[in-house]
Each structure stands twice: as C-alpha cells, then as structure tokens.
Amino acid sequence: VDDTDTQSADTAADGVQRQVTALYQAHALSLARLALLMLGDRAEAQDVVQDAFLGLYRRWGALASADAAPGYLRASVLNGCRTALKRRSRPAVYAGSQEHLESAEALAIHTEEQRAVLAAVRRLPARQREALVLRYYLDMTEDQAAQTMRVSRGAVKSATSRAVAAVGRMLKEGS
C-alpha cells in the first residue's frame, strides 16, 4: 500500500465520520426518544442508539445512498430494542428500573393521567408496545408500521387494537 492509497483511505474515512456525526446530530435525540419509549430506560436507550450509529459507520459502504441512512438507523434502533427486551429475564421490564428512581422528574412533567397511561403502556407485551409507539408516537400509517415491524398490516391493526384495549382496561382497573 503506497502513501497515496493510505491518504485517500484516510480522507474517505474522515468523510464517513463527518457524515455519520452529522446524522447523529440530526437524528440521535429523536431515535433515543423512540428507544426510551420502547425500553423505558434512558441509559439503555442511548446505548441502543450508539450501537445503531456505530453499525451505520461500519456498514456505510453497503448503504445504497446517504438518503437511506435515517431509515436504516430507525430499523437498527428498533432491532436493538427488540434484542434488549429479549435479553431481559423478567417480563415486568420496568419494575425497579432506573426510570422509577427518576420519578420525581416524571412527577413534575407528566400529569396524573399521562403517568397512568405510561404505566399501562409499559406493562404491554413488546410487540403491542412497538405497534403503539409506531402508530401513536411516530404517527405511522398501518402500512408503514407493518413494513417497519416486518409483519402484515392485519397484524399491526390487531396488535394496536389489543394494546389500546389493554391500556383502557388497565386504566379502568387503576381508577
């Protein structure tokens, strides 16, 4: 490898780093919020987002175009969340998590109604929660959510409807 090749490789790597950093500045917060809603844990959400960007950095050359990067990142974050949820041994994923220790902030920010809804959403199975987040936080259509979750539109519709019903039931039980 001569010096010219090394320099051009360095320049290309710098360019990739710059582009990934710019993407991070533009999208990291919204992706971290998405992961937070999925995982309920701030630190874990940020780790998933870091991993997604690191994955993007390593696989930059495999991207069809830079425009595809945001879509890739979102899919990667959702995959990371699914993996993290599978890793958890207990089904009640939010019990005793760090987020509950931060409840003073949550108390100050959320209304009583919002806290009740969030507690119910956190008790949902991962797939139903994902459907809710995609449909009601990202405002995706059923088709878009189906493509993102890689399931049929009917499955999204059913998961969303069950999730809403379950949240309603839990709110009723809690009141």
Partner 1 sequence: MISLEDQIRDALRSEAGRLREVSPLRLLPAPGRLGPVTAPRRARRPWTWLAPVTAAVLVIALAIALVIVRTERNGPVVPARPQSPAPATFPRYYVALEHLNNDGNAARLMAGDSVTGKTLAAFNAPAGASFEGTTPAGAADDRTFVVAATLSQRKPPYPPWATDGPRAWYLLRLAPGSARPVSMTKLAIQSSAADLPVTQTALSADGRYLAVASGDAGTLREDLRVYSVATGQLVHAWTMVNAGAFSYKTLSHLSWVNGDEAVAFNLMWGLSSHQEVRKVAVSAGGTDLLAASRVVWSQSVPAPPHGVITASTPQLCGLATLTADGQAIVCWKSVVSAGNAVPPMVWVAYPLSSPAQPRVIARIPPPLTKLTSVTGASGTPAVYVSAHEVIGFSFVVSRGDTGPLTIHKFIASGGAIRQLGTGTIASMNAVW
- The answer to whether residue 117 forms part of the interface with partner 1 (CB under 8 A) is yes
Q: How far is the CB of 157 from partner 1 (least distance, A)?
A: 11
**Binder of partner 1 out of 78, 121, 149, 159 (CB under 8 A):** 121
Task: Please give the structure tokens belonging to residue 47.
Answer: 């780790």
CB 130 within 8 A of CB 78: yes
Q: ∠ CA 35-39-45 to the nearest 5 degrees?
A: 45
Q: Which two three-digit tokens encode residue 97?
A: 């998590």
Q: How far apart are CA 131 and CA 162, in angstroms?
A: 10
Binding mask 132-151 for partner 1 (x = CB under 8 A): xx--xxxx-x-xx-xx----
Using CA atoms, how far apart are residues 83 and 87, in angstroms rounded to an integer? 6
Q: Interface with partner 1 by CB under 8 A: which residues?
A: 9-10, 12-14, 16-17, 20-21, 24, 26-30, 32-34, 36-37, 42, 45-46, 49-50, 53-54, 57-58, 67, 70, 105-106, 109-111, 113-115, 117-118, 121, 132-133, 136-139, 141, 143-144, 146-147, 152-154, 164, 167-168, 171
